[in-house]
Amino acid sequence: MGVDSKGFGIEKQLKDTQDFYIKEVVKQDIDRTPSIGVKAIRNYFKVELNNGEATFLVVNYNGHLLPIEIKKRETREEFRMFITKFIKVIKFEPGDLLVFGKTEETVHLFLVKSGSLIISKLRGLLKNRKHYIGPINIELSQIV
């Protein structure tokens, strides 16, 4: 599931959010670390890093504040999100979707399991890509 909106007011906070970032989980994300698109890092998460630099992004997942390291590779224009160390908390696997939504103060992470009723709607936004930035145009209560 995702963040429980009861008591957090997250559904209301995210209702006016224009863009979400969706990352499809692939096997490499479990074996190593997820790669995050350059556009997502710079335009969505607003992170600027030089080669070899790293920073932490604090993400709210089910009320757990997770400090997730983001690092730019030494020699390439590639970014990695070291989220796999939280796999026991998030419990993601290949085929699942990681959906990030931002409020003014917080980045929220929602896990959409591959067997979820809304997975096909969200996968339709990916259009055979591994990443998507934009509106989701579905009822948030189906995610949170």
What pLDDT score was predicted for residue 23?
92
Q: Which residues pair with 131 in a beta bridge?
A: 23
Concatenated DSSP letters for 6-18?
TTT-HHHHHHT--
Rounded Cα gap, residues 139 and 82, in angstroms = 29
Question: Domain 10-142 belongs to what topology?
Answer: At1g16640 B3 domain (2.40.330)
pLDDT tens-digit profile, the chain (144 residues): 333 333 344 454 455 556 889 999 999 888 888 888 888 999 999 999 999 999 999 999 988 899 999 999 888 888 989 887 888 888 899 999 999 988 877 888 988 899 888 888 888 888 888 888 988 876 655 565
Domain boundaries, the chain: 10-142
Say what the pLDDT of residue 3 is: 36
Q: Are 20 and 45 in contact (CB under 8 A)?
A: no
